[in-house]
A = this chain, B = another copy of it.
Amino acid sequence: MSISIPKGTRDFSPEEMTKRNYIFDTVKDVFKLYGYQPIETPAMENLSTLMGKYGEEGDKLLFKILNSGNFLQNVPAELLSGDKILPLTNRISEKGLRYDLTVPFARYVVQHRNDIIFPFKRYQIQPVWRADRPQKGRYREFFQCDADIIGSTSLLNEAELLQIIDRVFEKLGIDVTVKLNNRKILGGIAEIMGQSDRLTDITVAIDKIEKTGLDAVKEELRSKNITGEQIKILEPILSLSGTNEEKLNRMEEVLSCSETGLHGIAEIRKIFNYAEQLNISATVELDLSLARGLNYYTGAIIEVKARDVDMGSICGGGRYDNLTGIFGLKNVSGAGISFGADRIYDVLSAKNLFPQNSLETTRVLFVNMGEKEEIYCLQALQAIRNEGISAEIYPEAVKLKKQLEYADRRNIPFVVIAGEEEMASGKFLLKKMYDKSQKELPLRQLLDELY
Binding site for B on A (CB under 8 A): 1, 3-6, 9-14, 17-18, 21, 32-35, 37-46, 49, 60-61, 63-66, 68-73, 75, 80, 82, 85, 88-89, 92-95, 97, 107-108, 110-112, 115, 117, 119, 121-122, 127, 129, 131, 140-141, 149, 152-154, 156-157, 160, 163, 167, 274, 277-279, 327-328, 360-362, 365, 368, 374-375, 378-379, 382, 385, 388-396, 406, 409-410
| Given known A149-B395, A156-B393, A157-B395, contact A6–B46 (CB-CB < 8 A) | yes
**Nearest residue, chain B, Cβ from A41:** B11
Partner of A3 from B111, B152, B365 at Cβ < 8 Å: B111
The smallest C-beta distance from A85 to any residue of chain B, in angstroms, reads 5
Can you show 9 pairs from A to B with CB atoms below 8 A apart? A4-B111, A9-B43, A11-B40, A13-B115, A33-B385, A44-B63, A70-B85, A72-B85, A119-B394
- Residues of chain B within 8 A (CB-CB) of A112 are 11, 13
Give the 9 A-B CB pairs with smallest separation, nearest first. A35-B392, A9-B42, A14-B37, A154-B395, A35-B362, A152-B395, A17-B38, A12-B40, A68-B131
What B residues does A93 contact at CB under 8 A?
66
Residues of chain B within 8 A of A140, CB atoms compared: 44
Chain A interface helix/strand/loop/mixed: mixed
For A157, the closest partner residue in chain B by CB is B395
CA distance A334 to B295 in the complex (A): 52
Chain B residues near A14 (CB, 8 Å)? 37-39, 122
Taking CB atoms, residues of chain B closer than 8 Å to A88 are 72
Chain B residue with the shortest CB-CB distance to A34:
B392
Pairwise interchain contact A32-B360, C-beta atoms closer than 8 A: yes
Q: How far is the CB of A249 from chain B (nearest CB, A)?
A: 22
Q: From A326, which residue of chain B is reached at the shortest CB distance?
A: B1
B60, A156: Cβ atoms under 8 Å? no
Asked if residues B392 and A6 are in contact (CB atoms below 8 Å), the reply is no
Cα-based distance from A18 to B32 in the complex (angstroms): 12
A4 to B47, CA, bound (A): 11
- Expressed in whole angstroms, the minimum distance between the Cβ of A28 and any Cβ of chain B is 10
A63 to B65, Cβ gap below 8 A? yes
Bound-complex Cα distance A396 to B156 (A): 8
* Whole-angstrom CA separation of A69 from B63 in the bound complex: 11
B360/A390 in contact, CB under 8 A? no
Q: Is the CB of B6 within 8 A of A42?
A: yes
- CA–CA, A131 and B66, complex, Å: 11
Please, which residues of chain B bring their CB within 8 A of the CB of A277? Answer: 375, 378-379
The CA of A149 and the CA of B117, in the complex, are separated in Å by: 45
- Is there contact, CB below 8 Å, between A391 and B327? no
Shortest CB-to-CB span from A293 to chain B, Å, is 22
Which B residues are CB-close (under 8 A) to A327? 1, 3
Q: Tell me whether A395 and B156 are in contact (CB under 8 A).
A: yes
Q: Which of B6, B12, B129, B390 contacts A35 (CB 8 A)?
A: B390
Is A360 within 8 A of B3, CB to CB? no
Q: Are B12 and A39 in contact (CB under 8 A)?
A: yes
C-alpha gap A119/B362 in the complex (Å): 14
Contact B45 A5 (CB under 8 A): yes
Q: Check A72–B65 contact: CB distance below 8 A.
A: no
Q: Is the CB of A382 within 8 A of B278?
A: yes
Chain B residue at minimal CB-CB distance from A15: B37
